[in-house]
Structure 1
Amino acid sequence: MTQHILQGRTENELLWFRRRSFLQAAAAWTAVGGSAAALAQARSNIVELRGDALLNGSRLLPQHTIMTGDQVQTGPGTNLVFVIGNTSFLVRQNSRLTVERGSTLSVVSVLRLVTGAVASVWGKGSSRQIVTPTLTAGIRGTGVYAEVFPEQDNRSYFCNCYGTVEMGAGPDRALSQSDYHQAFWGEVRPKEGRFLTPAKAINHTDEELEYLAGLVDQRTAWQISGHKGVKDGKGYMEDKPGQMHPADTQRQR
């Protein structure tokens, strides 16, 4: 497995894609046509639910459908994978979020993460947002990971695993263009005068993004190029990152 750094998460949480139940569910999801077929046939868009979760305050069951406009909350030890349109989501335990409706029923315009953590892969489309208590990310077609740390006054973490993301925290703005994990903190209070600060790649793996991409018939940037960089949170594709990345330059202005 790709080396990764854990902060407040367990190794077991990051190994969900190895479970036989998920592999079977993912294969079945792909075999029956994915999200388009699920929508057309009024089938559930939940790929896997392991543990307890709430949908709009009521217990979420595997046969239910999560729609734009819904609120989702996961309990301790819960793992939830679902797909809306061309976007796939992995919701970790103890998370609370809302998927707001876009131009159609199957388009998510905003993922509002109140607490917890979500990995997601977004197909190409109009600009959409991920909003946490301390940062906003305008996303296009990309794979990302977001987490809110309640024990740090809801300080928020965001990794642009690949793609282009317009980042914002407080008055700070940066354009992140990444092929291999470029990460940020959205600070509660300014750190050395900045609300948007660089971070390391933590609490998520390449394999998670690869499986989520596969659910919406996509591949990650490193799968396409056949090359991985150094997972240091800088977004490089070189084996020895030694020069300033464009987004680093914007962050320091």
Structure 2
Amino acid sequence: MTQHSLQGRHDDEVLWFQRRTFLQGAAAFTAMGGFGAALAQARSNIVELRGDALINGQRLSSNQTIQTGDTLQTGPQSTLTFVLGNAAFHVRQNSSLTLERGPTLSAVSILRLLSGAVGSAWGKGSLRQIVTPTLTAGIRGTGVYTEIFGDQGGRSYFCNCYGVVDMSAGRDQVTSESSYHQAFWGEVAPKDGRMLTPAKAINHTDEEIEYLAKLIDQRTAWQILGKKGVKDGKGYMEEKPGQMHPAQTIGKW
């Protein structure tokens, strides 16, 4: 189990993948062929629903199917894990998000996070986005963690756990290429002249992202390389003199 740093979260929130109900649900989901088989057989694409959640304002049950165009909300002490197309999602408690439709019914074009937090793994495909009140992330095929800090005025946190992501906040833009957790803050107001600033790796674990990747038959960068880097939020496998976080290269305005 990797070390993790928590800010406003608790251990049980990042250890959901250890629950028997999730492990059983994930094993059954993958053994039966994943999302494609679930779609063909008209089965649910929910891997685990714990507690209470709403879909389009109505109570969600574990045998329902989540589609693009849906709005999801989780209540206190509730979580939701599901697969849609070639992307897997774990929604933390007290979260609200919408899934905007892409080229097909099962392709998410925009995940719009309104509150709370969500971890996700995305297979390759046409450009998709994760949008929060203070940042936009263009997804190419990656594993990420996104959270909105309501107690900080809606400041957004985004970690590109592996892969390539086009980041923007205000007039700040940068391409994030990460092998091991490159994290950003989307600021509510300019901080030292920037709206996109460096962050540490917080509130999520390697194992969470690994399990989400496995649900879409994918492996993380560190699993492929067989090693892990320095979990300092810079995103590199090896720490070298002079390495800068990409957000530090953005010019002030």
TM-score per shorter chain, which class?
over 0.9
1: CA distance, partners of 2:67 / 2:20: 27
- TM-fit CA distance, 1:213: 0.4
1: CA distance, partners of 2:226 / 2:219: 11
2: CA distance, partners of 1:42 / 1:197: 44
Q: TM-score, normalised by structure 1?
A: 0.97
Q: Which residue identity does 2:135 align to in structure 1?
A: L
2: CA distance, partners of 1:211 / 1:30: 11
- TM-fit CA distance, 1:247: 2.4
1: CA distance, partners of 2:230 / 2:223: 15
Q: Is the 8 A contact 2:44 2:64 kept in 1?
A: yes
Q: Which residue identity does 1:57 align to in structure 2?
A: G
Q: Which residue identity does 1:219 align to in structure 2?
A: R
Which position in structure 1 is the counterpart of 2:243? 244
**Coordinate RMSD, CA, aligned:** 1.1
**Equivalent residues in 2 for 1:12-161 (5 A)?**
12-161=12-161
Deviations 1:197-245 (A, max 9, x none): 000000000000000000000000000000100111000101x343324
2: CA distance, partners of 1:224 / 1:188: 36
Unaligned 5+ runs, structure 2: none
Which position in structure 1 is the counterpart of 2:190? 190
2: CA distance, partners of 1:247 / 1:153: 24
Q: Is the 8 A contact 2:129 2:138 kept in 1?
A: yes
Which position in structure 1 is the counterpart of 2:166? 166
1: CA distance, partners of 2:182 / 2:132: 17
Deviations 1:127-176 (A, max 9, x none): 10000000000010000000001111110000000000000011111110
- TM-fit CA distance, 1:79: 1.2
- TM-fit CA distance, 1:251: 3.0
Q: Is the 8 A contact 2:234 2:245 kept in 1?
A: no
- The share of aligned pairs that are identical, in percent, is 70
**Equivalent residues in 2 for 1:162-241 (5 A)?**
162-238=162-238, 240-241=239-240
Q: Which moved more, 1:243-252 or 1:20-29?
A: 243-252
Alignment coverage as a number of residue pairs = 252
Deviations 1:48-96 (A, max 9, x none): 0001000000000000111000000000001110000100000000000
Q: Is the 8 A contact 2:142 2:163 kept in 1?
A: yes
Q: Is the 8 A contact 1:236 1:245 kept in 2?
A: no
2: CA distance, partners of 1:98 / 1:64: 17
Q: Which moved more, 1:224-233 or 1:241-250?
A: 241-250
Q: Which residue identity does 1:230 align to in structure 2?
A: V
Q: Is the 8 A contact 1:230 1:241 kept in 2?
A: no
- TM-fit CA distance, 1:37: 0.3
Q: Which residue identity does 2:130 align to in structure 1?
A: I
User: Does the residue aligned with 1:42 lie in a helix, a strand or coil?
Assistant: coil
2: CA distance, partners of 1:196 / 1:249: 9
2: CA distance, partners of 1:10 / 1:246: 27
Q: Is the 8 A contact 2:26 2:47 kept in 1?
A: yes
Q: Is the 8 A contact 2:197 2:248 kept in 1?
A: no
Q: Which residue identity does 1:62 align to in structure 2?
A: S
1: CA distance, partners of 2:2 / 2:54: 32
Q: Which residue identity does 2:6 align to in structure 1?
A: L
1: CA distance, partners of 2:139 / 2:122: 8
Q: Which residue identity does 2:12 align to in structure 1?
A: N
1: CA distance, partners of 2:251 / 2:90: 32
